[in-house]
Amino acid sequence: MTNPLYDALFGRHAGKSTPFLHLLDGQIWTHSDFLETAAQIGHVFASLGLNPSDRVAAQLDKSPECLAVFAACAQTGLVFLPLNTGYKANELEYFFQDSGAALILCAPRAEALVKPMADGLNAELLTLDTDGSGSLMDKARMKPRRIDTVDRNRDDLAALLYTSGTTGRSKGAMLSQGNLLSNAETLVQEWQFTADDVLLHALPIFHTHGLFVAANVTLMAGGSMVFMPKLDIDAMVEWMPRATSLMGVPTFYTRLLQDPRFTKSLTAHMRLFISGSAPLLAETHVQFENLTGHRILERYGMTETNMNTSNPYTGERRAGTVGFPLPGVELKITTAETGEVLPQGEIGQIEVRGENVFQGYWQMPEKTAAELRADGFFITGDLGKIDADGYVHIVGRNKDLIISGGYNIYPKEIELLLDDQPGVLESAVIGIPHADFGEAVLGILVAQPGQTPDLDEIKESIGASLARFKQPQKLVLIAELPRNTMGKVQKNVLRDQYASA
């Protein structure tokens, strides 16, 4: 029997006593420990009558056993559906119903909430807590520590990940074994991961970044992870001298820079810092390099594709860009109206093609046809450009584009100017309704600690660099920008909040 995903990520480590997960309490899970736990969970799935291609929906807090659920799904041919731990009842009910989940896994504290939903779908329900307690592991501990691997191929569905749904119903991105494998294989090579790597893992594992990038790359390379339940700066400082790499979101790096214990000597054993899921401020790049001597590597990916581009491991890592298309990934900049390829340097929509690109949206053929072209190119919804040196720049989302008086305005251009103003930590630019022009520009600022930016001076300063139609009608100062769990600014929330500004 062959199962490409399981064989490449998990099966290759069978019987190995090499360390895989370092827990903060000092425990070490070897590869063998992990795979035996996954096999026991797989036996539970079989005992429930689950069949290959059935969906397993999991709203679980991060734990070794939660990660083992993914391995068990891969080994038994089930489709893994991880769900954000912040989702509320109405959101969960939609995901369960839409996916047709055969099994739902939740934390014990959520069992009373989820049980009526599971009963209504005739789905099985089991619980799992962060300490390994709950009905799933109660059953699993009685099971054998080995299980036959179900035969699958690269085209078979391995995971279903729902997009955030900020502009309508959430869409379930169908990811095949080949999608996940191709990305892991490429990233191990491009980022030079080996069995000697120890990754600081503080990301959630319900998201592609923490699960299908960080965990899969580590498994593919045969390395180990310091498995933190969440971002814990104290733990990160403690473990960094024994680690080699970190994958994080911008918040990780700004928090580290605020800690006096974070020094060049602390990072001496580290070889690579990677950032993604949200743009990293140029100021953070500079501060980090000045302090540590390390230059953060930014990359670009999304739920439907995993990673598309990366700054080089060797070569210039250019701040404000996401580097070059990864091997095997084609990327082009096109017009939204015709799909025609634009000249280098012009801004348009980003389209990508490669084995990393998903299979389509679950039970949404119209959405799939609208965003996944017949020739395999996926319309990402991101706006970008390719500069003269081939670096890809992300300038925003299609839905964030502001059209004022018939002119296209790209928020990123204005945000870069605002971020450089005295006293400004960061900014977000949105379009708000305007009776004459359709939309007007609103700039929302967050002050640097202990400072109060002069809004009038800032308007005058950036006005010298912007055409009149791009200039903000108004600037407002707020305490912090709303962000999702991966650190992305939620401009839809800001648009709702300031619709009548």
- 293-301: long-range contacts, CB 8 A cutoff, minimum separation 24: 293/264, 293/267, 294/267, 294/270, 296/253, 297/191, 297/272, 297/273, 297/323, 298/274, 298/322, 298/323, 299/274, 299/275, 299/323, 300/276, 300/392, 300/394, 301/208, 301/209, 301/213, 301/276
The yes-or-no verdict on residue 433 having pLDDT over 90 is no
The identity of residue 174, as a single letter, is: M
Residue 395 included in any domain? no
Q: Kindly report the CATH number assigned to the domain that includes residue 111.
A: 3.40.50.12780
pLDDT in tens, 382-411: 999 999 999 999 988 888 888 887 777 878
Last residue in a domain, options 176, 199, 228? 176
Which tops the pLDDT comparison, 376 or 398? Answer: 376
**pLDDT tens for each residue of 224-245:** 999 999 999 999 999 999 999 9
pLDDT of residue 485 exceeding 80, the answer is no
Q: Which residues have CB under 8 Å from 363's CB, separation 6+?
A: 98, 172
Is 331 a domain residue?
A: no
Q: Is the per-residue pLDDT at 27 higher than 50?
A: yes
* CA distance linking residue 191 with residue 5, whole number of Å: 20
Read off the pLDDT band of 164 (50, 70, 90): low
Query: What pLDDT score was predicted for residue 1?
Result: 65
Average pLDDT, integer, range 278-301: 92
Residue 412 within a domain: yes
Identify the band that residue 3 occupies on the pLDDT scale cut at 50, 70 and 90: very high
Closest CA to 358 of 281, 301, 443, 313: 301
Vertex 468: Cα angle to 350 and 400 (nearest 5): 30
Sign of the Cα pseudo-torsion (156, 159, 163, 168, in order): positive
The pLDDT value given to residue 212: 96
57: enclosing H helix or E strand: strand 55-59
Residue 467 contacts residue 437 (beta carbons within 8 Å): no
Whether residue 303 lies inside any domain: the answer is no
Instruction: For residue 448, give the 3-state DSSP assignment.
Output: coil
Count of residues making up the chain? 501
Q: What is the CATH number of the domain that holds 410?
A: 3.30.300.30
Query: What percentage of the chain has pLDDT greater than the value 70?
Result: 98
Say if 267 falls within a structural domain: no
pLDDT band at 166 (very low <50, low <70, confident <90, very high): very low
For residue 69, pLDDT beyond 50: yes
Whether residue 228 lies inside any domain: the answer is no
Q: What is the mean pLDDT of the chain?
A: 93
Largest CA distance in the chain: 71
DSSP state letter for 102: S
Q: Which of 128, 153, 176 is the last residue of a domain?
A: 176
Q: What are the φ/ψ torsions at residue 265 (nearest 5 degrees)?
A: -65, -30
pLDDT mean over 320-339:
94
Find how far residue 226's CA is from the centre of its chain. Answer: 19
Q: Name the residue with higher pLDDT: 284 or 43.
A: 43
Query: In percent, how much of the chain has pLDDT > 90?
Result: 82
Q: How far apart are CA 272 and CA 267, in angstroms?
A: 10
Would you state the pLDDT for residue 283?
85
- CA distances to 60, 104, 113 from 116, rounded to whole Å, are 18, 12, 7
Mean pLDDT of the 16-34 span:
97
**pLDDT given at position 496:** 87
**Among 150, 176, 202, residue at a domain's last position:** 176
421 Cβ neighbours under 8 A, 6+ residues apart: 453, 458, 461, 462
DSSP 230: S
Q: Per the domain annotation, does 137 fall within a domain?
A: yes
User: What is the reported pLDDT for 167?
Assistant: 46
pLDDT of residue 63: 98
Q: Over 60: is that where the pLDDT of 41 sits?
A: yes
Does residue 324 sit within a domain?
A: no
Structural domain for 489, as ranges: 401-497
Give the contacts of 111 (CB within 8 A, at least 6 positions apart).
125, 127
pLDDT tens-digit map of 109-157 = 999 999 999 999 999 999 999 999 999 999 999 999 999 999 999 999 9
* Total of domains in the chain: 2
